[in-house]
Amino acid sequence: MRRIHPDPIMQIHPQTAEEFSILNDDWVWIETPRGRIKQKCRIFDGIDPRVVHAQHGWWFPEEDGAEPSLHGVWKSNCNVLTDDEPDSCNPISGGWPLRGLLCKIYKVDS
């Protein structure tokens, strides 16, 4: 699967990408108050210009599994961006907000 799909992909509208000087295949930081991750850009005109879509569940099995790396789980996994503090969780189900978050985006500098 990784040979076919080697990188975590984020989608962004062309207008938003241009506003932030982001090109297709650029690496992009996605940041919230809790943390930041990087994913590779795919420009997609089928997304609202106010939204970015980040792939979830990313880790890198080729990296060291010992702490603190844990197979690179902190690099591109969008769970890093979510808030799991009890006050933020749903009082009925206990789930935390994970489908829509305010975020900041910017191009990864080399």
Q: What is the pLDDT of residues 2-25, one digit of tens each?
A: 889 999 999 999 999 999 999 999
What is the distance of C-alpha 31 from the center of its chain? 8
Angle at 3 between CA 30 and CA 55, to 5 degrees: 25
Give the pTM.
0.87
The answer to whether 51 and 82 are in contact (CB under 8 A) is no
Taken in order of first residue, the domains within the chain and their CATH numbers are 9-107 (2.40.40.20)
Q: State the chain's mean pLDDT as an integer.
A: 91
pLDDT tens for 79-104 read 899 877 777 777 888 776 666 789 99
Complete edge-to-edge strand list for the sheet that includes strand 35-43: 52-54, 9-12, 35-43, 27-32, 104-107
How far apart, in whole angstroms, are the C-alpha atoms of residue 72 and residue 53? 20
Residue listed under structure tokens 């989608």: 11
